[in-house]
């Protein structure tokens, strides 16, 4: 059994398999989710919906007011007063739509800004991690290279030393 095994497990192999599986799983399961969130930072959903909501609420309010007036038998309103009610509703609806859309823009901007800020934080973490890994990789490659160069230099210097010893022995043999 290999010395790298712990019982039936090879911890290095297990860790390698696990990390690869985790990364693949993230790409498969969570990347579409991540892309959707990235797209959401430019969303105009609230603004679009505010226009529709304002129109709908104007209609509902008008219907509620009409039912109210009917319930009280016209409520003693003159024709001029009823016309003024209609104009007030139209004016109110226009102002309400503009106001609601403006507020929706502000709210949308806040939400989009918050999403962007959080996404940037998450992205920074990813980037930091990637840079850290690359730095480690570069350091390891540099260490390996330096070790190789040192080993070569040691080997070369020892070979030269040995050659010098043999050479001096030969010189001794022939010159004495």
Partner 1 sequence: MAAKPKKQDYKPSQAEITNTKVAVAQRERFVNKYDPILLEQAETAATEDLGSYAAGKKQADTYQVLGKPSMAAARSIDYAADLATAASDQILRGRAAGEATKANRSLSTLASAQGQQMDATTGIGSLARLGNAGTLASAERKLLNRQANIDAGAMLAGSAYQTGKTNLAAGNTFFGGAKTDPVTGKTTEAVNRTDGFFDRLEGGLFG
Where are the extended beta strands (E) located within 41-144? none
Distance (Å, whole) CA 30 – CA 42: 20
Question: Total residues at the site for partner 1 (CB under 8 A)?
Answer: 93
Q: How far is the CB of 172 from partner 1 (least distance, A)?
A: 9
User: Which tokens go with 133?
Assistant: 């890994």
Among 42, 44, 45, 167, binds partner 1 (CB under 8 A): 45
Residue 12 makes contact with partner 1 by CB under 8 A: yes
Which residues 6+ apart lie within 8 Å of 50 measured at CB?
A: 97, 100, 101, 103, 104
- Residue window 61-100: x/- pattern of binding to partner 1, with contact defined by CB under 8 A: xx-xx-xxx-xx--xxx---x--xx--xx-xxx-xxx-xx
Pair of tokens at residue 146 = 């330096």
User: Side-chain half-sphere of 49: how many Cα atoms within 13 Å?
Assistant: 7
Q: Compare residues 79 and 91 and give the one whose CB is closer to partner 1.
A: 91
Query: Judged by CB under 8 A, does residue 44 bind partner 1?
Result: no
Q: Nearest distance from residue 33's CB to partner 1, in Å?
A: 5
């Amino acid at each position: 059994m290999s010395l790298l095994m712990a019982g039936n497990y090879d911890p290095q192999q297990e860790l390698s398999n696990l990390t690869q599986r985790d990364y693949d799983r993230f790409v498969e399961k969570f990347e579409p989710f991540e892309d959707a969130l990235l797209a959401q930072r430019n969303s105009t959903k609230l603004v679009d919906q505010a226009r529709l909501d304002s129109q709908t609420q104007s209609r509902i309010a008008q219907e509620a007011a009409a039912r109210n007036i009917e319930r009280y038998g016209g409520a003693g309103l003159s024709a001029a007063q009823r016309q003024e009610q209609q104009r007030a509703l139209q004016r109110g609806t226009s102002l309400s739509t503009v106001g609601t859309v403006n507020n929706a823009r502000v709210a949308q901007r806040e939400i989009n800004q918050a999403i962007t800020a959080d996404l940037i934080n998450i992205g920074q973490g990813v980037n930091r991690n990637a840079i850290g890994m690359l730095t480690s990789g570069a350091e390891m490659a540099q260490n390996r290279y330096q070790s190789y160069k040192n080993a070569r230099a040691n080997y070369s210097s020892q070979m030269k030393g040995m050659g010098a010893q043999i050479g001096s022995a030969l010189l001794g043999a022939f010159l004495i």
